[in-house]
Amino acid sequence: MTPPIEIAPARGKLGVLLVGLGAVSTTTIAGVMAIRKGLAKPIGSLTQMGTIRLGKRTEARAPKIKDFVSLAGLDDIVFGGWDIFEEDCYAAARTAGVLEQSQLDQVRSELEAVKPMPAVFDRRYVKRLDGPNVKKGKNKRDLAEQLIADIRAFKSKHGCDRMVMIWVGSTEVYMKETAAHATVASFEKALEQNDEAIPSSMIYAYAAIREGLPFANAAPNLTADVPAMLELAARMKSPLAGNDMKTGQTLIKTIIAPGLKARLLGVKGWYSTNILGNRDGEVLDDPESFKTKEESKKSALDYIFQPHLYPDLYQDLCHVVRINYYPPRGDNKEGWDNIDLIGWLGYPMQLKINFLCRDSILAAPIVLDSVLFLDLAKRAGMAGIQEWLSFYYKSPMHAPEVYPEHDLFIQLMKLKNTLRYMQGEELITHLGREYYD
């Protein structure tokens, strides 16, 4: 079949700029370097290990996704980024303490070559962190121009054909959209006026989109999800994805909740608590940053259960989310969920989940897949919100006139059907009547 979308080939190097070389970034970078040397497998990565069914079940066509669509190869990726600390990626990975020393040492020289550029950072938006490797500028517009200069210099130095940027920095304080975010003109004026409505993450997003780069937000910050950024993305043909990577407890919620709803089991209460000891946990110990994360975590159940359609089952759902900073746990997060269910004739039941997970281990394949799929979207001319990538995010970006889809299985169907559409293959509806007619 002839693909309905013309996709430019994935030739040359792909520059990947990560904002924040913390646990998630260093785990991603070290992981990709180990995988391309044959030292580990890309477990958890849909782009590397996932398959896609094509045609009827009787045809037995199920190639790997990376063989079906034109994705950049791991050998073509060049990593860079910004951080408020000066240590190189190897030292930063040791500080993060996610990967074993012996594993880091196998890619030590490659990691040491990744040195952070000075970051745009303001403690008003992330109050529990501070570091020396920070840019200075006369205003936020000046800082944005410095980031654009960094992007261009990195691209030139490493001979990159294409670039992608992902915010993997900390969760910023809770913010709402203001008049500064209404248009590109109002946003640029606000940059020049050092408007407090523009946090550091928005400065990065603006710089990336202005340069035509695909941009993803891996945190629950407002960042690119405002009219000004969408206007600029349409103008510069930049694909956008986010917000807040779906790992740990929210991943489990978007797996379990659709199943409960499918069987029309009522839910009266869902209590979630986490203990986390890494830098993310420290940042979220600040109430203003936690508010941002809480809004992201709590929204999924409302959209999955649709209480306005099923008032008898979900109207009075009590949903509580807690995050507790516990330094001894490090990056090994533990999530407890207690779910109070209602079954046939109103009889109560309970479901309890204890998920001992590794936050950065779950996040790293999401970063890799977001990079490769956003690069694909850019080469396919798909600008603006890429809702088909909502599979990876807690608070998926979506058109203002529609509700976001949070059901993990619907999200996966949307993603794979998008790939089929791009390649001119028949979409899979799972109707299946043709086998029996």
Q: Is 57 left (phi over 0), alpha (psi -120 to 50) or beta?
A: alpha
**In contact, 422 and 380? CB cutoff 8 Å:** yes
Contacts of the segment 247-250: beta carbons below 8 A, 24+ positions apart: 247/357, 247/359, 247/362, 247/363, 247/366, 248/274, 248/333, 248/335, 248/355, 248/357, 248/359, 248/362, 249/274, 249/297, 249/335, 249/337, 249/355, 250/296, 250/297, 250/300, 250/394
**64 half-sphere exposure, CB direction, 13 A CA radius:** 9
Q: Which residue has the higher pLDDT, 225 or 323?
A: 225
- Give how far Cα 164 sits from Cα of 106, 119, 186, 253, Å: 26, 17, 25, 29
Give the span between the Cα atoms of 386 and 241, in whole angstroms: 6
**In contact, 18 and 27? CB cutoff 8 Å:** no
Which one-letter amino acid corresponds to residue 184?
A: V
pLDDT at 117 over 70: yes
- For 275-284, 324-333, 343-352, 379-388, which range has the lowest pLDDT when averaged over its residues? 275-284
Q: Is the peptide bond before 243 cis (omega within 30 degrees of 0)?
A: yes
**pLDDT, tens digit, for every residue of 179-209?**
999 999 999 999 999 999 999 999 999 999 9
- For 225-229, 250-254, 274-278, which range has the lowest pLDDT when averaged over its residues? 274-278
Q: What residues contact 84, with CB distance under 8 A and at least 6 apart?
A: 119, 121, 129, 130, 131, 132, 133, 134
The predicted model scores a pTM of 0.94
Query: How high is the pLDDT of residue 4?
Result: 77
Q: What percent of the chain has pLDDT over 90?
A: 84
Residue 203, helix vs strand vs coil: helix
Cα end-to-end distance, the chain, whole Å: 26
**pLDDT, tens digit, for every residue of 256-309?**
999 999 999 999 999 999 888 766 666 666 676 666 656 656 678 999 999 999
Q: What residues contact 345, with CB distance under 8 A and at least 6 apart?
A: none
DSSP assigned state of 309: T
Query: How high is the pLDDT of residue 1?
Result: 54
Q: What percent of the chain has pLDDT over 70?
A: 95
**pLDDT, tens digit, for every residue of 134-191?**
999 999 999 999 999 999 999 999 999 999 999 999 889 999 999 999 999 999 999 9
Give the span between the Cα atoms of 39 and 33, in whole angstroms: 9
- For 48-52, 168-172, 210-214, 327-331, which range has the lowest pLDDT when averaged over its residues? 327-331
pLDDT at 36 over 90: yes
Give the span between the Cα atoms of 389 and 18, in whole angstroms: 18
pLDDT at 3 over 80: no
Residue 91, helix vs strand vs coil: helix
Query: How high is the pLDDT of residue 248?
Result: 86
Beta strands in 32-159 (DSSP E): 77-83, 117-118
| Average pLDDT, integer, range 107-125 | 97
